Structure 1
């Protein structure tokens, strides 16, 4: 855009008077008056670095931050000699307006592509570190952002990241996001371990709503508020009770067996094995515990010979453990 008086030369005396009046108005906090003087100087392309810096300060003091930021960006492009001075002001305005993420992204790029003068680099590092701290604090105290990020991550995100985010969110309110989460209970691509974690989250929050959940080609409608704990099903209780003698004679073996059982049932939850499979599963988790602890030779008498169903469930528990749970470690 052409300046209004680009072909007219401003008299040096008038220029000095406008500069003096503008800086005086700035000093006296008459920011609107100062901007008028700056505007006149700009019309004659006679605004110095000091005057343009004063203009940015006026915008900041008048809470016209968007204009201050836009002017900084413009001057950073047009005035290479004062680039880092304007950049410093620009970053300061971003910091003042709590735009910590923008500062981090900007300085990451600048540090990797530019050789920043030492004096500015030291100041920029200080602002960068403060911005990181404030940004992390904001994220930690912004459950809405965290939940939105988690929901986005359920579509194709890594299992480890999904599990990490879910673990962080479990103590936070879920009410406003139930409708967003419900479709994932029927998503065949979602790890069943994550589905169980989601269901527990809703249960802990006393969510009273019918939800259809699909796992392993089975479909079931459940109400989280009415669900029992994973080890409270009849089958789980029967299995734990059948291991009572192990608990009395070898508490370490019992606890290890119980952990294997819990992890297996966690993958299946809220589904439970058929009643006729409870005993074979009990023998299977005990056999696996003996195998993992390398105690098979001294405990053969605990199990009743060979059993096809026991071997089937041993293979099934191992498969589920490897496919769905081992990545959590």
Structure 2
């Protein structure tokens, strides 16, 4: 502090150092420390959209959804950063908070006011609008039931309805219950090929969280796999997932951070819907090339697919089946 003038003297490049430390802590999943560094950086420069976005991500990881929502909304209103990337994060927060009316209002406003939305992203918004409309119209199901027969009736709705949106709501409610009495119903659901792969992943994770030790048959995409939920190891996917993200980060993080983040979200969504199966191809460079191309298409960028494939040392002919697989999953995804 300069005592004569009463001014604070900052070290050179202090903000950049704080941001660097904050992002390092964020990557290391030390979210409280990351938040502290990024908030200090924000106090030095409140115009930096990347710093604000980092704060939002920290708040999300710490479960501070309401604060994350308010901060994300502020960024959107001020027009900072990549608008569509921040919009996607904002909508995901609203979905988590089950504020479906606000989701619908936001998407309708964007569709009416924005003419430069990439076709793939526009379709994604339309799908999310339909999803939120259905969720908003669903009557709330009272789960404060103690009788096994009543819980069974609730679970049976999974077999009686063909709407994934209703299934998601039921699964969320089953998370609060002792599900042992409805295991036969959940097993039947997982073994039925026609049910949505995304909701099957949700049920499987529910069984894992409840430490279910029975053998369960899961059918997805024409394949069947027998698993014991309590013994499932997500590391089967995580090694490949991490390697692909590492390759993408090296290629895209400096050139286009927003494109990298979009590619990352597509990849993690793909693996989530595929779970407990793992990708047939374990060629990380092929997957990285496909995700780079898909993210560009989401953003409406004009690209040469063959040239992008070459960046990763692969040919476009090699990755065509993976490219098709990614888009098949994207069509299934509700988000």
TM-score scaled by structure 1? 0.50
Matches within 5 A, 1:252-267: 252-267=258-273
Q: Do residues 234 (structure 1) and 239 (structure 2) align?
A: yes
Matches within 5 A, 1:67-86: none
| 1:254 to partner: Cα distance | 1.7
* Equivalent residues of 2:198, 2:272 under 8 A apart: yes
* Equivalent residues of 1:153, 1:162 under 8 A apart: yes
Question: 1:142 aligns to what?
Answer: 145
* Equivalent residues of 1:231, 1:262 under 8 A apart: no
Taking a change above 3 Å as real, the CA distance of residues 235 and 180 of structure 1, as seen in their structure-2 partners, is same
* Equivalent residues of 2:263, 2:291 under 8 A apart: yes
Question: 1:155 aligns to what?
Answer: 160
* Equivalent residues of 1:284, 1:314 under 8 A apart: yes
Structure 1, unmatched stretches of 5+, are: 1-135
Secondary structure class of the residue paired with 1:212: strand
Q: Do residues 290 (structure 1) and 296 (structure 2) align?
A: yes
| 1:297 to partner: Cα distance | 4.7
| 1:231 to partner: Cα distance | 8.5
2: CA distance, partners of 1:321 / 1:288: 10
Taking a change above 3 Å as real, the CA distance of residues 247 and 184 of structure 1, as seen in their structure-2 partners, is same
Counterpart pick for 1:187 among 167, 187, 192: 192
TM-score scaled by structure 2? 0.50
How many equivalent pairs are there? 191
2: CA distance, partners of 1:162 / 1:137: 13
Structure showing greater Rg: 1
| 1:204 to partner: Cα distance | 1.5
Question: 2:310 aligns to what?
Answer: 304
1: CA distance, partners of 2:211 / 2:325: 32
2: CA distance, partners of 1:279 / 1:304: 10
Q: Bigger shift: 272-281 or 192-201? A: 272-281
2: CA distance, partners of 1:248 / 1:300: 22
| 1:270 to partner: Cα distance | 0.6
Higher helix residue share? 1
Q: Bigger shift: 193-202 or 208-217? A: 208-217
Counterpart pick for 2:202 among 197, 203, 213: 197
Taking a change above 3 Å as real, the CA distance of residues 300 and 294 of structure 1, as seen in their structure-2 partners, is farther
* Equivalent residues of 1:192, 1:268 under 8 A apart: yes
1: CA distance, partners of 2:141 / 2:168: 21
- 1:25-75 superposed Cα distances (whole Å, 9 cap, x missing partner): xxxxxxxxxxxxxxxxxxxxxxxxxxxxxxxxxxxxxxxxxxxxxxxxxxx
* Equivalent residues of 1:230, 1:262 under 8 A apart: no
| 1:265 to partner: Cα distance | 1.6
Q: Do residues 166 (structure 1) and 171 (structure 2) align?
A: yes
| 1:307 to partner: Cα distance | 0.9
Matches within 5 A, 1:101-116: none
Structure 2, unmatched stretches of 5+, are: 1-138
| 1:206 to partner: Cα distance | 1.8
1: CA distance, partners of 2:156 / 2:246: 39
- Which gives a bigger RCO, structure 1 or 2 (Cα 8 Å, sep 6+)? 2
2: CA distance, partners of 1:163 / 1:242: 33
Question: 1:316 aligns to what?
Answer: 325
Question: 2:277 aligns to what?
Answer: 271
